């Protein structure tokens, strides 16, 4: 699966980091840090789905399997 980030929408709430800390974080300026390239690492699909669901501004979008 792939997760795409709309950085223009991201407001730095950090809920994605709470849901999937191995995949997402915030830097010192509150900017989103994505800890993978578009394809989610094996075994991290459930946390990635949770991060997409909890984003309050819809900045994360999931695609199907690659």
CB proximity list for 47: less than 8 A, separation 6 or greater: 19, 20, 22, 23
Confidence of residue 38 (pLDDT cuts 50, 70, 90): confident
Domain carrying residue 56: 2-63
Model confidence over 20-32: pLDDT tens digits? 999 999 999 999 9
Q: Using DSSP, how many helices (H) and how many strands (E) does the chain show?
A: 2, 4
What is the pTM assigned to this prediction?
0.89
3 contacts 24 by C-beta, under 8 angstroms: no
Q: Is the pLDDT of residue 66 over 90?
A: no
Q: Is the pLDDT of residue 62 over 50?
A: yes
The enclosing domain of 38 has a CATH number of: 3.30.70.20
Q: Number of structural domains, the chain?
A: 1
Sign of CA dihedral 47, 49, 54, 60: positive
Could you tell me the two tokens for 10? 């991201």
């Amino acid at each position: 699966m792939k997760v795409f980030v709309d950085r223009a929408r991201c407001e730095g709430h950090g809920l994605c980091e709470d849901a999937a800390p191995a995949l997402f974080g915030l830097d010192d300026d509150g900017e989103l840090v994505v800890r993978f390239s578009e394809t989610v690492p094996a075994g991290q699909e459930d946390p990635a789905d949770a991060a997409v669901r909890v984003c309050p501004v819809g900045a994360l979008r999931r695609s199907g399997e690659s």
